[in-house]
Amino acid sequence: MTLVYISLAWILGIALGSRVHLPAALLAVSLLPLPILAIRRANRRAVITATVCLLALIGAALYYPLHLPPADASDISFYHGQDKVTLKGLISSPPETNGKNAQFRFSAAEIKTGETWQKVSGTALVYVPAYAEYHYGDLLILNGKLEVPPVFDDFDYRDYLAHQGISTIVYYPHLEVVAHGQGSKILGRIYDLRHRLGQTIAQTMPEPQASLAQGIVLGLRSNIPEDLNQNFARTGTTHVLAVSGLNLSIIAGVFVSLGIWLFGRRHYFYIWLALAAIWFYALITGMQAPVVRSAIMASIAGKLNNCVSRSMPTL
């Protein structure tokens, strides 16, 4: 029930944030129940749960407005519909190939107006031919038309992308690579590791099993044959190909058991080991939404278990 209370608090916080603008200093209110722990030994679990629920409530209220696109010229969504726009920015995710196309996230930093460059923000999903060679961290100058993501009859693609922080789509722009390796060095190494793991799977397994394993384990679905994708779609089992919370459950179970075997239960090192493994796996798989949600829930569950265990007397 604890996770249910926290989830409800998060949902209520989003609803609150959509109606009221709260100051960030209000986040300190979530810590008010903690002094009770020094006064009373009883009901410690309830106090800790109340603290986490308040943190989720206020945190969600502060989080909501941060992901609303600004309505001025400082955001790329302001330039939707213009014939040609010139942007400068970084490829912020590894390109993924799907059939004849490839796509990647483009984080804009500057826009050219006349002969001058001005600061701008926002993330676009850029489509390029599959044979194009672009990599995470490339600094690009993009020239193309910025479009609003479409809404289909049976699928709200615009809302789907908005939940990932993407407000714009650019189809087959003219791209000029200005520099390489301009992204996060840590993320660059993690994405390189992901690529090498995918290559190892491809070398040790036959097809199409290798492509399926790359998709299920690493979230690399670009190598799955199109006819196999269609077969999964026709049978309603496409979700099997996606990295999901089940992967996180297996990772958490393995590393909790390994941590207990190595360190025992005394200092709760096994929880920190499992949390580190969970978030590292989430990074390797590209921080996909289902994995991030599962990682957050697993982290909350692990921390609550840690706090409650410390507050309980040793038998």
CATH number for the domain spanning 169: value is 2.40.50.140
End-of-domain residue from the set 66, 96, 112: 66
Whether residue 195 is found in the same domain as residue 163:
no
51 and 142 fall within a common domain:
no
| Residues 265 and 250 both lie in one domain | yes
Residue 47 and residue 10 share a domain:
yes
Does any domain span residue 289?
A: yes
Residue ranges of the chain whose pLDDT lies below 70: 24, 27, 30, 33-43, 65-72, 99, 222-223, 266-267, 288-289, 301-315
* d(C-alpha 166, C-alpha 144), whole Å: 17
Q: In the prediction, which pLDDT does 27 show?
A: 67
Q: Are residues 59 and 92 in the same domain?
A: no
Domain match, 167 and 207 both: no
Q: Tell me what pLDDT residue 279 has.
A: 84
Domain end residue (candidates: 203, 221, 241):
241
Same domain for 252 and 237, yes or no, is no
In a domain, 34, yes or no: yes
For the record, the structure tokens of 304 come out as 């609550």
* Total tally of structural domains belonging to the chain: 4
Asked if 262 and 235 sit in the same domain, the reply is no
**253: amino acid identity, one letter:** G
Look at residue 315 in the predicted model and tell me its pLDDT. Answer: 41
pLDDT at site 314: 45
Instruction: Give the Cα separation of 5 and 43 in Å (integer).
Output: 16
Taking alpha carbons only, the member of 120, 138, 113 closest to residue 128 is 138
Question: Same structural domain for residues 220 and 175?
Answer: no
pLDDT value of position 308: 45
Same domain assignment for residues 12 and 47 = yes
Does 158 share its domain with 60? no
What are the angstrom distances between the C-alpha of 283 and each of 30, 190, 246, 250, 291?
Answer: 29, 7, 16, 16, 9
Sign of the Cα torsion 254, 258, 261, 264 reads negative
Whether residue 71 lies inside any domain: the answer is no
Residue pair 122/77 in contact (Cβ under 8 Å)? The answer is yes
Residues 191 and 167 placed together within one structural domain of the fold? no
Residue 46 belongs to domain spanning? 2-66
Which pLDDT score is estimated for 68?
Answer: 62
**193: in domain:** yes
251 phi-psi bin (left φ>0, alpha ψ -120 to 50, beta other)? alpha
Q: Which of 183, 200, 229 is the last residue of a domain?
A: 183
